[in-house]
Amino acid sequence: MRRIYYLFPQKIELSFAMGLSFLDTIKHIASLDGSETTKTSGKELVKVKTKVEVAIDRATFGDITPDVLRPGTITEALDMRISVLALALRGSGKVPIANDIFLIRLTDRVSRTDIDIAKETKPGGLDALDIKNILLGK
């Protein structure tokens, strides 16, 4: 069964193929839900928080449940929404520098998974290449 979001944008910012099977790609991206990483950007230390949701029906997104990760539950295509909050860690405290939402479409191609990325929020902050790097663990 496909789980797609009918308002997925026609304009795709980035497409690439991931060398994992469809189910393994879903599990990999689902493992990013609730993750926090810290990296340096220029001279600042930046904390990145990630939230991942899946299409529940054709109009809404919801939390990832164990049934989504069972083999055979989802076939062909899946849309996900990834929210990324980036906070600069400064002496004065945490300062938000980006709060972006991206829509991701996974398409099963048997030995690999095609991934399309579109930004839902307005330009600025993170871009599709940043999300690709997060998905690839870079």
User: Is 138's pLDDT higher than 80?
Assistant: no
Q: What is the predicted pLDDT for the residue at 18?
A: 92
Asked if residue 101 is part of any domain, the answer here is yes
Q: What is the predicted pLDDT for the residue at 127?
A: 87
User: Is 117's pLDDT higher than 90?
Assistant: yes
Instruction: Return d(Cα 7, Cα 57) in angstroms, integer.
Output: 11
What is the domain extent for residue 45? Answer: 14-136
**pLDDT tier, 112 (very low <50, low <70, confident <90, very high otherwise):** very high
User: Is 1's pLDDT higher than 80?
Assistant: no
Domain count, the chain: 1
Asked if residue 49 is part of any domain, the answer here is yes
Asked if residue 8 is part of any domain, the answer here is no
- Report which of residues 67 and 102 the model is more confident about: 102
Asked if residue 38 is part of any domain, the answer here is yes
Write out pLDDT tens, residues 24-50: 999 999 999 999 988 887 788 989 899
**pLDDT tier, 58 (very low <50, low <70, confident <90, very high otherwise):** confident
- Joined together, the tokens standing for residue 103 give 């829509």
Q: Are 56 and 4 in contact (CB under 8 A)?
A: no
Asked if residue 4 is part of any domain, the answer here is no
**Could you write out the three-class secondary structure of the chain?**
CCECCCCCCCCCCEEEEECCCHHHHHHHHHCCCCCEEEEEECCEEEEEEEEEEEECCCCCEECCCHHHHCCCCCCCEEEEEEEEEEEEEECCEEEEEEEEEEEEEEEEECCEEEEEEEECCCCCCCCHHHHHHHHHCC
pLDDT-wise least confident of 13-22, 99-108, 120-129 = 120-129
Q: What is the predicted pLDDT for the residue at 95?
A: 87
Asked if residue 44 is part of any domain, the answer here is yes
